[in-house]
Amino acid sequence: MLYPLVPTLPTCSLQTIPHTPMSFFRDSRTLITGANRGIGLEWARQLAGPTDRLFATCRRPSEADQLHEIAASHPDTVDLFALDVTDPSAIQAVVEQVQDRVGALELLVNNAGINGGGKQDRFEGVDQETMMDVFRVNAAGPHLMAKAFADLLRAGTAGRRGATDGRAAVANITSQLGSIANAQSDTWHSYRASKAALNMCVRLQAAALRDDGVVAVALHPGWVRTDMGGAEARLSPEASVEGMMEVVGDLSLEDTGRFFAHDGKELPW
């Protein structure tokens, strides 16, 4: 049987393929810190499918049962690494493993964090040891991670065919509690101060990496129902991470050094 000829459609170059937020993550290589629970675990759950390679890290992977379930469901794409973001030698060991496996990263999600006492951490009770512990994890840790993985992120700006449009990003999970402009209550002293410090680190990362095509941003996940956020929180981890992924997926170099909420709203420093 003869069929009518169908006119050949013109081919479409990669440059003309419409951009969508998920196109940033498709076939990309990503590393997440603090991936064993809460927001970090949800990042791992949502990225395990679309990414080409996902490196999910936490201090004790052997105790992270839910993270192991994600890895078992995606054995060819998800790797679990032990990582303490306050330990430079541990950071370097993971850098070397990522370099050996993939040679580049398109996304670093600096999620690991601690609260330092939360609402009970008030002016009259704040102490040096707690403050320094929280600063090491929440501010110094992400900044040293960005420094250590900078070359892999620079390599990631070349992208993969159809993947990240020549961009790489550092997504620093901060909090609106770190906003100096909005600081009003006498709670969460160590946590607030550490997130304000992280916000400055984001600005410094942006200045250092912009010319290399790497975007660095601060992301407020919202008030999320996690061990840290509590059962009364308004957002599920799923909704929070979905929103943050939309923000990251739409980033351009013009956005580097900015402070966004999970819904895309820009927040004051």
Residue 65 resides in a domain:
yes
pLDDT of 20 reads 56
Residues constituting the chain: 269
Residue 13 resides in a domain:
no
Residue 10 resides in a domain:
no
pLDDT of 12 reads 38
Alpha helices (H) along the chain: 38-47, 65-73, 88-101, 128-135, 141-148, 150-156, 189-209, 237-249
pLDDT of 159 reads 57
pLDDT of 166 reads 63
Q: How many domains does the chain have?
A: 1
Residue 3 resides in a domain:
no
- CA nearest neighbour of 199 among 128, 126, 267, 264: 267
pLDDT of 165 reads 53
pLDDT of 143 reads 99
The answer to whether 263 and 239 have CB atoms below 8 angstroms apart is no
Residue 6 resides in a domain:
no
pLDDT of 15 reads 41
Residue 266 resides in a domain:
no
Residue with tokens 């790797």: 79
Domain of 62, CATH number, reads: 3.40.50.720
Q: Does the pTM of the predicted model rise above 0.85?
A: yes
**Strand 78-82 and strand 214-220: pairing?**
unpaired
pLDDT of 180 reads 96
Collect the ranges in the chain with pLDDT lower than 70.
1-21, 159-166
Residue 9 resides in a domain:
no
For residue 58, give the 3-state DSSP assignment. Answer: strand
126: domain range?
19-261
Residue 8 resides in a domain:
no
